[in-house]
Chain A
Amino acid sequence: MSDLVQQLEKEIAGLKFKASKSNVGTVVEVGDGIARIEGLSEVQASEMIEFPKGIFGIALNLESYGVGAVILGDFTQIKEGDVVKTTGRILEVPVGEDLIRRVVNPLSLPIDGKGVIKSKINYPVEKIAPGVITRQSVNQPLQTGIKSIDATTPIGRGQRELILGDRNTGKTTIAVDTIINQKDVICVYVAIGQKASKVAQIMATLEQFGAMKHTIIVAANASDPAPLQYLAPYSGTAMAEYFMDQGKDVLIVYDDLSKHAVAYRQMSLLLRRPSGREAYPGDVFYLHSRLLERSARLNKDYGGGSLTSLPIIETQAGDVSAYIPTNVISITDGQIYLESDLFYAGVRPAVNVGLSVSRVGGSAQVKAMKSVAGRLKLELAQFRELAAFAQFSSDLDPATKSQIERGRRITEILKQPINAPVPVEEQVAVIWAATSGHMDEIEVERCQEFETGYIKFLKVFKGKPLEIIKEEKEVSEKTQKLLEEAVKSFKKSFR
């Protein structure tokens, strides 16, 4: 208590009163989170403006006799005739270590009831993306712990990999599992327009798996006004950029950018900006491109940090050719496409390996995974082709039949329960076993059982092949022999 009094006394003593000079305007119209203001002749674009009762806004439309602004707070408290002041500041949010483990709103104010965040460092929410000089190519993997992704569409640190699919296909689950699998990576989960219950559920899951200790959740829920939803991904990125500037690796998940585009459309229409395709404004591409361009892998001269982003897009009835999905597909460095049909057929995660791509992740993949994944992709591609063909003929030659059978087993081992990321060395060992034909005689239904047992067996097997793969990061001939020896011994005991 005495500390607080002393601190208050110190603050008051240090305060120098002076006449304040500001540029002001008057509210002439207010509603739906938007205000029209007359005056403010010296306001800058995107400048923070102050309404009465401590409510802030952002000046977005600078017109000849007034300003169109979005209100970042309770707009019902603002009335016509209220005086608005410029602040001379572009919107900034507090960033720093204090935010880790916390759930905050896009203005970095806590919404988890765990007390005030005492961060003194502020970062602007809008920042120009790192330039060519500061970057280096993606060369380090970011393990998701999901076999089908790490093997077929690997993600590198600094990459932007889109997750897209219909509702209830497991998009968020992939993002959450990826966060759970991180150990040395700071994660930022940005929830845009989600139900508060879903955000609470995600937080509980992350807590349960100990992932909150390296995670920040930025939430602009469905009940929050559109300006806050619009701001959320930019605020989250500012928080992530702080850690990237410290030389750390950061992962950011935008869940989801479809709702972000919808919030921006609402704002733009209320600001009377001209609308284009699907009523989105003309700069909806720039809205996402300037956000995702901030993901980067910085070179050593600039700290060597990285910002990997996983934007999520929800498609309607699998239509990837809609406006927003095509925009974001063209901005990102690849996409993980999730299909409802696969999901309901029990393939979970429902990744369509054929349509999913990673444009830069391949060069970041660990050698061990690269050596086994090449064969896996080939086997799966052949399986897809033959499986489609085999639907029309019942009599198949033995080579085709065995190809299809192997494909079925590979599909089976790529299935994975939720919140159960698999370490890369275990993924390599399992994929190696499947692609080398060691699982061909195992019944498809028992493949997962085989996988679990095989991994358990490898952990206690003499020679410790898993540790060797983990250390060497490649599958040498010696390791292959060891794995072969192990799989043969395990098969004898597997009934």
Chain B
Amino acid sequence: MAKLNKHLRKLVTKMVKSSINAEGVVNAQMVQKFSRALTSLSLSQSILALSEFIKGLKREINKSSLIVESAVETSPLLQKEIIKTISQHYKIINSQFIINTSLLGGLRVKIGDTLIDNSIRDKVDQLRERITHV
């Protein structure tokens, strides 16, 4: 299986960092510029480098993306309150509010790789785990 050149890997990492500005927003022009540069490589290296670049960007975007799941629809006021509270600890660029009835109640918040679960479903799971050990 073809592998990405070590130096190229380092370069791609730098490109990913340069594509995100200080506020955590993706700079579309830079992304286009880097993508063009990577497509000029040999076909195999270009495919690998581009996929690594996309993965890196995805991860960076993911770091500042807030996903809030709730069993019922949340009011705009509550949404604002949630974003305000979370942004005290995490950088938030975009947010998404999803209705997930399987949570039964409460909220499940995901930002980057961090998941904060305060749903009824999670509490039921905690209870189940506790009593299955009896």
Question: A residues within 8 Å of B by Cβ?
Answer: 4, 7-8, 11-12, 15, 17, 19-25, 38-42, 64-65, 83, 85, 272
Interface contact B114-A23, CB-CB below 8 Å: yes
Which parts of B65-99 form the interface with A (CB within 8 Å)?
none
Q: Give A323 Cβ to nearest chain B Cβ, in Å.
A: 24
Interface contact A21-B115, CB-CB below 8 Å: yes
Q: Which of B13, B52, B113, B116 contacts A41 (CB 8 A)?
A: B113
Q: Give A252 Cβ to nearest chain B Cβ, in Å.
A: 28
Question: B residues within 8 Å of A by Cβ?
Answer: 1, 9, 13, 52, 55-56, 59, 62, 110, 112-118, 122-123, 126-127, 130-131, 133-134
Interface contact A12-B56, CB-CB below 8 Å: no
Q: Which of A12, A64, A83, A272 contacts B130 (CB 8 A)?
A: A12
Chain A residues within an 8 Å CB radius of B130: 11-12, 15
Given A11-B130, A15-B130, A65-B55, A24-B113 contact (CB < 8 Å): yes
Closest 6 CB pairs of A and B: A19-B118, A24-B115, A41-B113, A39-B113, A65-B55, A20-B117
- Between-chain CB contacts (< 8 Å), 17 pairs: A8-B131, A15-B126, A17-B123, A19-B116, A19-B118, A20-B126, A21-B116, A23-B113, A23-B115, A24-B110, A24-B115, A38-B55, A39-B62, A39-B113, A42-B113, A65-B52, A85-B115
How far apart are the CA atoms of A39 and B1 in the complex, in Å?
Answer: 23
Chain A residues within an 8 Å CB radius of B9: 64
Chain B residues within an 8 Å CB radius of A24: 110, 113-115
Q: Give B133 Cβ to nearest chain A Cβ, in Å.
A: 8
How far apart are the CA atoms of A436 and B56 in the complex, in Å?
Answer: 80
Residue in chain B with minimal CB distance to A43? B113
How far apart are the CA atoms of A7 and B62 in the complex, in Å?
Answer: 44
How far apart are the CA atoms of A24 and B109 in the complex, in Å?
Answer: 12
How far apart are the CA atoms of A38 and B56 in the complex, in Å?
Answer: 11
Q: Give A204 Cβ to nearest chain B Cβ, in Å.
A: 32
Interface contact B123-A7, CB-CB below 8 Å: no
Interface contact B117-A19, CB-CB below 8 Å: yes
Q: Give A314 Cβ to nearest chain B Cβ, in Å.
A: 32
How far apart are the CA atoms of A453 and B62 in the complex, in Å?
Answer: 82
Q: Give A114 Cβ to nearest chain B Cβ, in Å.
A: 19
Chain A residues within an 8 Å CB radius of B113: 23-25, 39-42
Chain B residues within an 8 Å CB radius of A17: 123, 126
How far apart are the CA atoms of A40 and B116 in the complex, in Å?
Answer: 14
Q: Which of B115, B118, B131 contacts A12 (CB 8 A)?
A: B131
Q: Which of B118, B122, B127, B134 contacts A4 (CB 8 A)?
A: B134
Chain B residues within an 8 Å CB radius of A23: 113-115
Give 4 A-B pairs besides A12-B127, A20-B122, A65-B52 with Cβ atoms closer than 8 angstroms. Answer: A12-B131, A21-B115, A22-B115, A272-B1
Chain B residues within an 8 Å CB radius of A8: 131, 134
How far apart are the CA atoms of A38 and B130 in the complex, in Å?
Answer: 29
How far apart are the CA atoms of A15 and B1 in the complex, in Å?
Answer: 51
Chain B residues within an 8 Å CB radius of A25: 113
Residue in chain A with minimal CB distance to B122? A20
Q: Give B78 Cβ to nearest chain A Cβ, in Å.
A: 16
Q: Give B57 Cβ to nearest chain A Cβ, in Å.
A: 11
How far apart are the CA atoms of A421 and B134 in the complex, in Å?
Answer: 43
Q: Give B81 Cβ to nearest chain A Cβ, in Å.
A: 16
How far apart are the CA atoms of A23 and B62 in the complex, in Å?
Answer: 13
Q: Give B89 Cβ to nearest chain A Cβ, in Å.
A: 11
How far apart are the CA atoms of A8 and B131 in the complex, in Å?
Answer: 6
Q: Give B100 Cβ to nearest chain A Cβ, in Å.
A: 12
Chain A residues within an 8 Å CB radius of B62: 39
How far apart are the CA atoms of A7 and B131 in the complex, in Å?
Answer: 9
Residue in chain A with minimal CB distance to B129? A54
Chain A residues within an 8 Å CB radius of B133: 11
Given A24-B114, A25-B113, A41-B113, A65-B56 contact (CB < 8 Å): yes
Chain B residues within an 8 Å CB radius of A64: 9, 13
Residue in chain A with minimal CB distance to B110? A24
Chain B residues within an 8 Å CB radius of A40: 113
Q: Give B129 Cβ to nearest chain A Cβ, in Å.
A: 9
Residue in chain A with minimal CB distance to B134? A7
Interface contact B55-A20, CB-CB below 8 Å: no
Interface contact B127-A15, CB-CB below 8 Å: yes
How far apart are the CA atoms of A41 and B115 in the complex, in Å?
Answer: 12
Chain A residues within an 8 Å CB radius of B52: 65
How far apart are the CA atoms of A45 and B114 in the complex, in Å?
Answer: 18
Chain A residues within an 8 Å CB radius of B112: 41
Q: Give B87 Cβ to nearest chain A Cβ, in Å.
A: 17
How far apart are the CA atoms of A40 and B111 in the complex, in Å?
Answer: 12
Residue in chain A with minimal CB distance to B127? A15
Q: Which of A11, A65, A83 contacts B59 (CB 8 A)?
A: A65
How far apart are the CA atoms of A272 and B3 in the complex, in Å?
Answer: 11
Q: Give B101 Cβ to nearest chain A Cβ, in Å.
A: 17
Q: Give A11 Cβ to nearest chain B Cβ, in Å.
A: 5
Q: Give B5 Cβ to nearest chain A Cβ, in Å.
A: 14
How far apart are the CA atoms of A64 and B59 in the complex, in Å?
Answer: 10
Chain A residues within an 8 Å CB radius of B55: 38, 65
Residue in chain A with minimal CB distance to B1? A272
Chain B residues within an 8 Å CB radius of A42: 113
Chain A residues within an 8 Å CB radius of B122: 19-20
Chain B residues within an 8 Å CB radius of A7: 134
Given A15-B126, A65-B56, A20-B131 contact (CB < 8 Å): no
Chain B residues within an 8 Å CB radius of A83: 115
Chain A residues within an 8 Å CB radius of B116: 19-21
Give the interface centre of B13, B113, B118 by most chain A CB atoms within 10 Å.
Answer: B113
Given A20-B116, A23-B114, A25-B113, A11-B134 contact (CB < 8 Å): yes
